[in-house]
Chains A and B, each alone.
Chain A
Amino acid sequence: MAKKKYDKYIYEYDPKMFPKEQRPVMAYMDNNLAKGSNFYLIHWIMPGFGMQPEWDFPYAGHPPHIHKDAELLFHIGTDPNNPMDLGAEVIMYLGPELEEHHITRTCCIWIPPNFIHSPWKPVRCDRPWIFMEFNQGPVHTEKSYRQILPKEARARMDWSMWPDDKYPEIMV
């Protein structure tokens, strides 16, 4: 098929971009791919995701962190007859106080810049649903706040999986 002038504006996720990615990603965009784009990541959450044995303890999940830019975390149910039902349950902690929330409805969680959020962990999944992470900045950033976790939870996580991203070491 002949190339068209605006083919360059249509992006399909290429799994070769992130060989270690295990989530079923459907779409990814950032400023490195398309100049001027913010960071977006969209993937399925399948039954069993987040419920692996190594995450079977209190405060397991994607650990507490911040981003430089605001973030929107869309949790989208996929039942066309009941689209506001997530068909799943996610535990999400918000703030340095680790305020606990149970997400069971289609919704968007607004995360202001530098707002501590997570652990985030699916605890039930009746059917696949869609998770969308939109950042209001050009690329992904992340800084860990694992110091707010109880010692027991902190000791059980594999921290090599959760490096800081684009935050410089602070010089003394």
Chain B
Amino acid sequence: MAYRIDTKKCLKCGLCVTQDCPENAFIVTDKVKEDDGLILYTVIIDENKCTECDTCFSHEWWCPAKAIIKGKK
């Protein structure tokens, strides 16, 4: 059962990258600075790194937007 980021829910805050994923599977693929200085990050879960340990998904507040989902695309 793969994990991925729901792009409709994701707020592009990048917080998931700074959390302690044991495999560092959260990867920033794009970074945009908005006019007011806010930086938005596009993040994916690298399926070659993710071991499906469930750490991110089972942590209630890993993602403030609850954008990490379980299941195939």
Which residues on A are within 8 Å of B, measured CB to CB?
A: 66, 96, 112-116, 143-148, 154-155, 157, 159, 167-172
Among candidates A145, A155, A157, residue contacting B11 with C-beta atoms closer than 8 Å: A145
Q: How far is the CA of A168 from the CA of B17 in the complex (A)?
A: 11
Which residues on B are within 8 Å of A, measured CB to CB?
A: 9, 11-15, 17-18, 28, 30-31, 34, 36-41, 60-66
Q: Which A residues are CB-close (under 8 A) to B31?
A: 170, 172
Q: Which A residues are CB-close (under 8 A) to B15?
A: 66, 114, 143
Task: Indicate if the CB atoms of B64 and A96 lie closer than 8 Å.
Answer: yes
Among candidates A114, A155, A171, A172, residue contacting B64 with C-beta atoms closer than 8 Å: A114
A147/B12 contact (C-beta < 8 A), A169-B39, A170-B17, A172-B31 known = yes
Q: How far is the CA of A148 from the CA of B13 in the complex (A)?
A: 11
Taking the closest CB of chain A, its distance from the CB of B54, in whole angstroms, is 18
Q: How far is the CA of A128 from the CA of B39 in the complex (A)?
A: 38
Taking the closest CB of chain A, its distance from the CB of B20, in whole angstroms, is 12
Q: Which B residues are CB-close (under 8 A) to A116?
A: 64-65
Task: Indicate if the CB atoms of A168 and B64 lie closer than 8 Å.
Answer: no
Among candidates B12, B34, B61, residue contacting A114 with C-beta atoms closer than 8 Å: B61
- What are the 5 closest A-B residue pairs judged by CB atoms, nearest first? A114-B61, A170-B14, A172-B28, A159-B36, A114-B64
- 16 extra interchain contacts, Cβ-Cβ under 8 A, other than A114-B15, A172-B28? A66-B64, A112-B60, A112-B61, A114-B61, A114-B62, A143-B15, A144-B38, A145-B11, A146-B38, A147-B11, A154-B36, A155-B36, A157-B36, A168-B18, A170-B18, A170-B39
Taking the closest CB of chain A, its distance from the CB of B24, in whole angstroms, is 12
| Chain A residue nearest in CB terms to B19 | A114
Q: Which B residues are CB-close (under 8 A) to A147?
A: 11-13, 34, 38, 40
| Chain B residue nearest in CB terms to A96 | B65
Taking the closest CB of chain A, its distance from the CB of B15, in whole angstroms, is 7
Q: How far is the CA of A168 from the CA of B15 in the complex (A)?
A: 10
